[in-house]
Amino acid sequence: MHGRQGRAELPFDGRDLGAAQGRDAALIAAVVDALPSPTVVLDPRGVIVLVNSAWVNDGRKHGLSIRPGADYFTEAVGLADDPDGRTLVAELRELMAGERSEMSIDRSMPGLSGTGRLWFHVQGTRVGGAGHVVVTHTDVTARVLAERASSWQARHDHLTELPNRAHLHELINRELHRPDHPAVSVLFLDVDGFKDVNDSLGHEVGDELLRQMSARLLEATRAQDTVGRLGGDEFVVLCRNCDTDGAAALAARCQAAFVEPFELGGRRLTLGASIGIAGTDGGNRRSVRSTELVRDADLAMYAAKAAGRGRVRVFSPDLRSAAETRMQLAAELRDAIAGDQLVLHYQPIVQLSTGTCTGMEALVRWQHPERGLLPPSDFVPLAAQHDLMAELTCWVLRTATGQAVAWDAAGLPLVMNVNISAEHFSAGTLTDDVAAALEASGLPPDRLVVELTETSVAEDPVSAAAQLARLRVTGVEVSIDDFGSGFSSISQLVALPAGLLKIDRSLVTCAAGRAGQAAAAIEAVVGLADAFGMRSLAEGVETAEQLAMATALGCTFAQGFHIARPMPAEDIPAWMAARTRGAAPLPLLTDAASLSRGLGSAVGSG
């Protein structure tokens, strides 16, 4: 037994460690005692014949007292009768028998005295020829806990502590390959309006919103479901043993969880969610991968958002077919821009005080070799999604300015209007691209108008204003498009250097019975334009009455189907000639004045 602390005990009886006696036994005991890790020496039967101070001290710390004479094998299995413990004993026996040269194993066992679970690296080495073994026990608990924490962090979102994208796919694949074949469904949830929160209240508030949302989703889902965050404002819910009908009910609960306003930055905000659902039954689930299931749910979510937000949509094969068509079109669009498949149609713009056509708006079309002439709604969103907008806009600028020069040579000096996308602003190349198009075509700068919407400059209004100011210095005019749609901001009129305000068609083509209110709104916008030294243009004019109203209310310009539909460049000279001959006259100003008096009465009575 131990004498004083710090010295190893060595009960030799002639059979132990060969014939070691006296100084040899003391030397061996000193060497073992000097080892920093808890160490024991076992005889060929597995009986402990020697322990060091580290072993004794570690035992005291954990409330154990395993001394020489104890059966190591019995004690090892008694501490934790688990596969690791049984493997440890089996390999030590093989080492003693000379069937292996060494053994090494990581062993976990429950901690005693409230210390928590412990991990040890156990290593055995055979010494001598009689089968004695030295076994060291290195505490690797800190390392294992650090590795587990790192592994957990790698598989979870740091903000919400929910499973992240990689771990979600692991969990979904594991569920898809369960032998009992339960139904599996996935919800793909996107928060409606999250970007507005980030932009207006800041990212810290946005992060708090995501934490609150994750907590509500955890409360709304079942215990067997898993809520994860893909990134941004996108969440995925793995619905175990759940078909699409059950998933739809679960989606409704998730949406209901967002009904109560969120408390954010001292404000109460109500936000919704668009949810897509994809599921698989027990019959075909093994052939489905997690990436496919999440992709299908994502497609359904975008369909739900396109239907008006706050909706739930279950995936159907037609959504995938449409997505594949869009992907094919996107690939073809890049070649179409570089080739000769794009064309421009031009819609005339008339000056209302004279009835003269003074300009054209360039509107892009795609002459697809198989699908025919495609409207911009079929491919412009694809260009935005695949970072092609700047390239597309440059093509329009080059083509439109070149066409304006060609018309000028034919005696048609027209101003050219070209739409600019938000992506072009963010690229920061707008002024250089406009300058390059003007230089290549030879069009004077004052014959070009670039049109933009308020929303296109919302992300970085300072940068956008700087670019537009540089354009106006060169003589290029700037127009704010679609003013009056959504929530138009007067502050934008102050910040943006623009000379033309386009009144949105929603005001011009007002609903029946609301002409008075629409006229009042148009008159207010015209007044704003005048106050800021800007001219105004009524777009979307479809009837003679709407044209007369725009004229009476003081709009400078107008365009719309009533005046002319967009047409190919080669049709413009004939249209202009017919208009010059009076084939399509504007309403007489006397009629406009009468209409103005009628609208004034309507507003006054209304």
419-432: per-residue pLDDT in tens?
988 777 777 788 99
**Average pLDDT score over residue span 254-279:** 90
**Average pLDDT score over residue span 520-541:** 90
Between 277 and 193, the more confident residue is 277
Given a cut of 50, is residue 10 above it in pLDDT? Answer: no
Residue 371 in domain: yes
CB of 348 closer than 8 Å to CB of 414? no
The pLDDT value given to residue 4: 34
Give the whole-angstrom CA distance, residue 151 versus residue 154.
Answer: 5
The pLDDT value given to residue 23: 61
* pLDDT, tens only, 393-413: 999 999 999 999 999 999 999
Residue 576 in domain: no
Please compute Rg for the chain using Cα positions.
39
Whether 163 and 138 map to the same domain: the answer is no
Whether 72 and 114 map to the same domain: the answer is yes
The pLDDT value given to residue 599: 40
CB of 8 closer than 8 Å to CB of 50? yes
* pLDDT, tens only, 195-251: 888 777 788 888 999 999 999 999 999 999 999 999 889 999 999 999 999 999 999
Percent of the chain with pLDDT over 70: 87
Given a cut of 70, is residue 489 above it in pLDDT? Answer: no
Whether 195 and 304 map to the same domain: the answer is yes
Structure tokens at 567: 């047409």
The pLDDT value given to residue 18: 45
The pLDDT value given to residue 99: 92
CB of 271 closer than 8 Å to CB of 258? yes
The conformation of residue 110, written as its DSSP 8-state character, comes to: P
Lowest mean pLDDT among 39-48, 208-217, 419-428, 569-578: 419-428
The conformation of residue 378, written as its DSSP 8-state character, comes to: G
The pLDDT value given to residue 283: 55
Percent of the chain with pLDDT over 90: 51
Given a cut of 70, is residue 6 above it in pLDDT? Answer: no
Select from 485, 477, 496, 440 the least CA-distant residue to 557. 477
Lowest mean pLDDT among 174-188, 305-319, 492-506: 492-506
Amino acid residing at 305: K
**Average pLDDT score over residue span 494-506:** 84
CB of 226 closer than 8 Å to CB of 214? no
Between 369 and 1, the more confident residue is 369
The pLDDT value given to residue 458: 62
Given a cut of 60, is residue 105 above it in pLDDT? Answer: yes
- CATH number for position 445: 3.20.20.450
Whether 359 and 282 map to the same domain: the answer is no
Give the whole-angstrom CA distance, residue 235 versus residue 164.
Answer: 9
Model confidence at 125, in pLDDT bands (50, 70, 90)?
very high
Residue 515 in domain: yes
Residue 335 in domain: no
The pLDDT value given to residue 286: 57
Whether 169 and 255 map to the same domain: the answer is yes
Model confidence at 506, in pLDDT bands (50, 70, 90)?
confident
The conformation of residue 111, written as its DSSP 8-state character, comes to: P
Domain boundary among 92, 121, 144: 144
Given a cut of 50, is residue 415 above it in pLDDT? Answer: yes
Q: CA–CA distance from 337 to each of 43, 362, 365, 401 (Å)? A: 83, 16, 11, 17
**Average pLDDT score over residue span 36-64:** 90
Report the DSSP beta bridge partners of residue 362: 346
Residue 586 in domain: no
The conformation of residue 504, written as its DSSP 8-state character, comes to: P
Give the whole-angstrom CA distance, residue 409 versus residue 412.
Answer: 7
Between 327 and 279, the more confident residue is 279
Helix (H, G, I), strand (E, B) or coil at 360: strand
Model confidence at 82, in pLDDT bands (50, 70, 90)?
confident
Given a cut of 50, is residue 559 above it in pLDDT? Answer: yes
Model confidence at 582, in pLDDT bands (50, 70, 90)?
low
Given a cut of 70, is residue 453 above it in pLDDT? Answer: yes
Whether 213 and 348 map to the same domain: the answer is no
The pLDDT value given to residue 475: 94
CB of 431 closer than 8 Å to CB of 471? yes
Given a cut of 60, is residue 504 above it in pLDDT? Answer: yes
Select from 336, 319, 428 the least CA-distant residue to 380. 336
Give the whole-angstrom CA distance, residue 292 versus residue 278.
Answer: 9
Whether 59 and 175 map to the same domain: the answer is no
**Average pLDDT score over residue span 492-501:** 79
| Average pLDDT over the chain, rounded to an integer | 84
The pLDDT value given to residue 605: 30
pTM listed for this prediction: 0.60
Between 398 and 597, the more confident residue is 398
Given a cut of 80, is residue 75 above it in pLDDT? Answer: yes
Select from 231, 228, 208 the least CA-distant residue to 217. 228
Give the whole-angstrom CA distance, residue 303 versus residue 454.
Answer: 26
Amino acid residing at 570: E
Domain boundary among 144, 164, 182: 144
* pLDDT, tens only, 133-147: 999 999 998 999 899
Helix (H, G, I), strand (E, B) or coil at 198: helix
Whether 177 and 136 map to the same domain: the answer is no
Given a cut of 70, is residue 122 above it in pLDDT? Answer: yes
Domain boundary among 144, 177, 212: 144
123: number of Cβ within 10 Å: 16
Residue 435 in domain: yes
Give the whole-angstrom CA distance, residue 551 versus residue 498.
Answer: 22
The pLDDT value given to residue 572: 96
CB of 572 closer than 8 Å to CB of 360? yes
606: number of Cβ within 10 Å: 11
582: number of Cβ within 10 Å: 8
Structure tokens at 355: 């009835």
What is the β-pairing status of strands 102-109 and 234-240? unpaired
Given a cut of 50, is residue 89 above it in pLDDT? Answer: yes
Residue 293 in domain: yes
Lowest mean pLDDT among 1-10, 366-375, 518-527: 1-10
Select from 348, 345, 351, 375 the least CA-distant residue to 363. 345
**Average pLDDT score over residue span 311-339:** 87
- CATH number for position 305: 3.30.70.270
Whether 166 and 36 map to the same domain: the answer is no
Q: CA–CA distance from 327 to each of 93, 324, 334 (Å)? A: 64, 5, 11
353: number of Cβ within 10 Å: 13
Model confidence at 189, in pLDDT bands (50, 70, 90)?
very high
Whether 284 and 353 map to the same domain: the answer is no
CB of 20 closer than 8 Å to CB of 12? yes
Whether 137 and 163 map to the same domain: the answer is no
Give the whole-angstrom CA distance, residue 424 versus residue 433.
Answer: 10
The conformation of residue 435, written as its DSSP 8-state character, comes to: H
Whether 137 and 164 map to the same domain: the answer is no
> Phi first, then psi: what are they for 274, rounded to 5°?
-100, 135
Burial of 364 (0-12, 13-18, 19+ CB in 10 A): buried
> Phi first, then psi: what are they for 403, rounded to 5°?
-70, -40
Model confidence at 5, in pLDDT bands (50, 70, 90)?
very low
Residue 81 in domain: yes
Range of the domain at 212: 156-315
CB of 280 closer than 8 Å to CB of 176? yes
Q: Where are the beta strands (DSSP E) in 433-508?
A: 448-453, 477-483, 500-503
Q: How many domains does the chain have?
A: 3
Select from 117, 102, 118, 108 the least CA-distant residue to 84. 108
- CATH number for position 107: 3.30.450.20
